[in-house]
């Protein structure tokens, strides 16, 4: 199987059904197939050769989807660029991966000059926005209109499909190399579990450069669905799209779920079409999950745990498990395509219930890091992807993520897992969102520090939070300090950036 395979099948079986909806534009499966083949032809005519890397820096759109598929059709490799990065970080990823062809939309076209200066190897830039094409760029729509389609290269198997850069804020980002086999293994297994609606309508609100959204795109291509695309996440825009297009499925991260569930106008929108909400990328508190299930009663909730290096899914927590008082705190069990273990520092599997590092193997595990053999060998030692997450597994195979190993708090010699504390803090009625981090402490080495945002009009003192927390967790885990903020620093994928909080409160 390969990325473009479902294009042919959907055009064959559902030629006149809608494939994409983006603003006022719609395209059928037949039209999408034609546009992808033409764009692939244009890439080839403008110098894209086999195995070349083609980058795209843009907000969500139907053209983003077409670019991913056309690049594979042309026998080349996609490099999606993080929209939150600085020019320096973007230039590093383009230069390191040897990108010569770049697509920019209206939001990022002004960066073209800086990127050309920073990346001497950069050649062709294609403008894929709705505005006038800037000087020195090629027009996306003109290329499609003026180029004949070419045969699909049927790039497949272990051939490189994309380089997906991770990190970049605290050092040089790493380019995760994923093959067609990697991506299709993960997407097919998730589709097979009923995570998504067959021939459903998926809302793309999470950033399309992020692998989580790309995985949902691939799954819905497999299932013959319709892709409803908004440029970026904004609560009213997302709710409006759900209503207008009768969206059945969406991938959301917990911060997005919180903004939707707690939005004062949520009740104004009929979201009864929603059948499936897949969430992941960061932990979700039990309190927020309860509010979300109340807000969207028609939807099944499935949690996916994984990482870019796993294409991206390792475990799934099914909707039925959310009703279990213990299992709903887990990340679920190994997905059908994955083998998951908990190991000690020597790579030996530890007894059930013992905290160790979560490691994963399977055909969805990355090929490696681009141009980083030492980092690849370290991550894939022993044939397992070492996630860097601490956790344990119960007797039934449910994986409980304790913390990122680097996020674990060691206070007075005791290990404190921030997720456990966050679940308790989030239950306080005044709290809407929280993160727990370690900050330096002269007496304890590190202390548990809670950062929270509050319900409008609510107040909260450290003493009140400590009394609330002591009812559920041991005294050494209870927050020793508190900060109240209006908003949290987040990644483009909506994950709270604890490293930024640690820097802020150090």
| Domain chopping of the chain, boundaries | 29-179, 409-505
Please give the sequence-ordered ranges of beta strands (E in DSSP) within 145-299, or none if there are none: 160-166, 174-179, 201-204, 226-229, 249-252, 276-280
Instruction: Identify the pLDDT of residue 170.
Output: 41
* Sign of the dihedral defined by the CA atoms of residues 44, 46, 51, 56, in that order: negative
Residue 350, exposed/middle/buried by CB under 10 A (0-12, 13-18, 19+)? Answer: middle
Which stretches of 296-402 are DSSP H helices?
A: 373-379
- For residue 429, the SS3 value is coil
Would you give the distance in Å from CA 101 to the centre of its chain? 24
The rounded distance, in Å, linking the Cα atoms of 7 and 221 is 7
Cis omega before residue 312 (within 30°)? yes
Q: Are 101 and 48 in contact (CB under 8 A)?
A: yes
- Locus of tokens 């400590």: 466
Strands 300-306 and 313-317 come out as antiparallel
Q: Are 452 and 482 in contact (CB under 8 A)?
A: yes
Q: Are 77 and 162 in contact (CB under 8 A)?
A: yes
Tokens at 58, concatenated: 């843009």
Would you give the distance in Å from CA 352 to the centre of its chain? 29
- For residue 157, the SS3 value is coil
Instruction: Identify the pLDDT of residue 89.
Output: 85
Cα torsion 499, 175, 184, 385 to 10°: value is: -60
Q: DSSP code of 281?
A: S
Instruction: Identify the pLDDT of residue 169.
Output: 40
- For residue 5, the SS3 value is helix
29-179 and 409-505 share one fold: no
For residue 338, which of 367, 375, 389, 304 has the smallest C-alpha distance? 304
Architecture of the 409-505 domain: 2-Layer Sandwich (3.30)
The rounded distance, in Å, linking the Cα atoms of 436 and 225 is 39
Count of CB atoms situated within 10 Å of the CB of 234: 13
- Residue range 29-179, CATH number: 3.40.50.980
Q: DSSP code of 12?
A: H
Q: Helices (H) and strands (E) in the chain — how many of each?
A: 15, 26
pLDDT in tens, the chain (506 residues): 999 999 999 999 999 999 999 999 999 999 999 999 999 999 999 999 999 999 999 999 999 999 999 999 999 999 999 998 888 889 999 999 999 999 999 999 999 999 999 999 999 999 999 999 999 999 999 999 999 999 999 999 999 999 999 864 445 789 999 999 999 999 999 999 999 999 999 999 999 999 999 999 999 999 999 999 999 999 999 999 999 999 999 999 888 998 999 999 999 999 999 999 999 866 677 888 899 999 999 999 999 999 999 999 999 999 999 999 999 989 999 999 999 999 999 999 999 999 999 999 999 999 999 999 999 999 999 999 999 888 999 999 999 988 777 777 878 767 787 888 998 999 999 999 999 999 988 777 789 999 999 999 999 999 999 999 998 888 889 999 999 999 999 877 777 888 899 889 98
Residue 194, CB-side half-sphere exposure with 13 Å CA sphere: 8
């Amino acid at each position: 199987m390969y990325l473009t395979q479902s294009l042919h099948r959907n055009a064959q079986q559902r030629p006149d059904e809608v494939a994409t909806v983006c603003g006022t534009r719609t395209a059928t499966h037949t039209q999408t197939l034609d546009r992808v083949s033409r764009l692939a032809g244009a890439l080839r005519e403008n110098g894209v050769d086999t195995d070349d890397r083609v980058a795209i820096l843009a907000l969500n759109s139907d053209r983003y989807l077409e670019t991913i598929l056309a690049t594979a059709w042309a026998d080349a490799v996609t490099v999606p660029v993080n929209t939150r990065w600085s020019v320096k970080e973007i230039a590093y990823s383009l230069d390191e991966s040897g990108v010569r062809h770049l697509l920019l939309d209206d939001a990022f076209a002004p960066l073209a000059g800086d990127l050309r200066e920073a990346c001497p190897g950069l050649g062709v830039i294609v403008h894929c926005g709705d505005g006038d094409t800037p000087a020195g760029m090629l027009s996306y729509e003109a290329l499609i209109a003026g180029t004949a389609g070419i045969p699909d290269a049927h790039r497949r198997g272990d051939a490189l499909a994309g380089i997906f850069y991770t990190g970049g804020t605290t050092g040089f980002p790493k380019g995760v190399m994923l093959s067609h086999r990697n991506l299709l293994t993960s997407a097919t297994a998730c589709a097979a579990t009923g995570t998504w609606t067959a021939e459903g309508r998926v809302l793309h609100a999470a950033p399309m450069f992020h692998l989580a959204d790309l995985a949902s795109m691939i799954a819905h291509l497999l299932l013959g669905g319709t892709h409803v695309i908004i440029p970026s996440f904004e609560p009213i825009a997302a709710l409006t799209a759900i209503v207008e297009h009768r969206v059945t499925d969406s991938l959301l991260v917990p911060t997005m779920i919180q903004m939707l569930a707690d939005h004062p106008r949520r009740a104004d929108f009929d979201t009864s079409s929603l059948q499936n909400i897949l969430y992941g990328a960061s932990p979700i508190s039990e309190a927020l999950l309860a509010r979300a299930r109340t807000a969207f009663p028609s939807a099944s909730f499935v949690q996916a745990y994984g990482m870019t290096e796993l294409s991206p899914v390792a475990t799934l927590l099914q909707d039925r498990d959310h009703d279990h008082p213990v299992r709903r705190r887990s990340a679920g069990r190994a997905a059908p395509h994955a083998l998951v273990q908990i190991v000690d520092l020597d790579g030996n599997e530890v007894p059930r219930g013992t905290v160790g590092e979560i490691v994963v193997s399977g055909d969805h595990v990355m090929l490696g890091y681009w141009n980083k053999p030492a980092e690849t060998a370290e991550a894939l030692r022993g044939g397992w992807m070492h996630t860097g997450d601490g956790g344990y597994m119960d007797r039934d195979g449910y994986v409980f993520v304790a913390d990122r190993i680097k996020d674990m708090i060691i206070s007075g010699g005791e290990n404190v897992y921030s997720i456990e504390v966050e679940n308790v803090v989030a239950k306080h009625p005044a709290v809407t969102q929280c993160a727990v981090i370690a900050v330096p402490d002269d007496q304890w080495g590190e202390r548990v520090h809670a950062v929270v945002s509050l319900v409008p009009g609510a107040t909260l003192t450290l003493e009140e939070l400590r009394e609330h927390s002591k009812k559920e967790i041991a005294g050494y885990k209870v927050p020793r300090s508190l900060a109240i903020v209006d908003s949290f620093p987040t990644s483009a994928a909506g994950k709270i950036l604890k490293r930024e909080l640690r820097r802020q409160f150090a």
